[in-house]
């Protein structure tokens, strides 16, 4: 499973990339706004840090507007993935971009039928938001499992990009369910390394080593 970071904070990306296992980055208008920087500037800087897909989201609601916004983003770098919303207009934009061999991420997916539409449109990635489903009392992981079954039934090449991941348990769940990618905030990425028994074991090893040196 690939690991993407869901952030627009360049320094957080830089730190995580140094570990050597980050495969891509997802951004959205909210994350860019939070960074307080210009959209194109942030995306361009991220392309210098990550050698993998970088999702840049359009904000237009009509197909023509999405394609117009996508055009300059595509020119930034070959790894730019255009992020479009799960609407009829977004799917139409996806079809046109896919025909141009542009990577597309269909976002805000909350049902298996929506994921099926994205795959039919030639999306590179589909982003089911499991955490937001959990928030309203539904099982987000069930959606990932349904999409995996449908895509396997028809050998769709569209990759399942599990999004709205809130904690390490979500990461484990989507890995078990067969998601191709998990995109997560940096704080969740760093939590994956931690376990109290690991900390205790390291502390014991160090204590024993100090004793052995005496």
Integer Cα distance of 118 and 50 in angstroms:
25
Cβ contact 19:3 at 8 Å: no
Which of the residues are catalytic?
83
CA neighbor of 39 nearest in space, from 54, 22, 24, 50: 54
């Amino acid at each position: 499973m690939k690991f993407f970071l869901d952030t627009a904070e360049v320094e957080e990306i830089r730190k995580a990339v140094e570990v050597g296992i980050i495969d891509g980055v997802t951004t959205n208008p909210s994350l860019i706004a939070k960074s307080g920087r210009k959209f194109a500037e942030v995306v361009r800087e991220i392309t210098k840090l990550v050698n993998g897909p970088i999702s840049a989201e359009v904000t237009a609601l009509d197909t023509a507007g999405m394609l117009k916004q996508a055009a300059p983003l595509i020119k930034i770098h070959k790894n730019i993935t255009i992020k479009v919303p799960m609407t009829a207009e977004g799917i139409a934009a996806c079809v046109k971009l896919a025909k141009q061999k542009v990577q597309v991420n269909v976002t805000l997916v909350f049902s298996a039928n929506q994921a099926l539409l994205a795959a039919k449109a030639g999306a590179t990635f589909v982003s089911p938001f499991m955490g937001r489903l959990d928030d309203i009392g539904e099982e987000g992981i069930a959606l990932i499992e349904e999409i995996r079954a449908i895509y396997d039934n028809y050998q769709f090449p569209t990759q399942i990009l599990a999004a709205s991941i809130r904690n390490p348990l979500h990461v484990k769940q989507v890995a078990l369910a067969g998601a191709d990618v998990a995109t997560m905030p940096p704080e969740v990425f760093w939590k994956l390394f931690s376990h109290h028994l690991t900390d205790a074991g390291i502390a014991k090893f160090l204590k024993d080593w100090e004793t052995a040196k005496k």
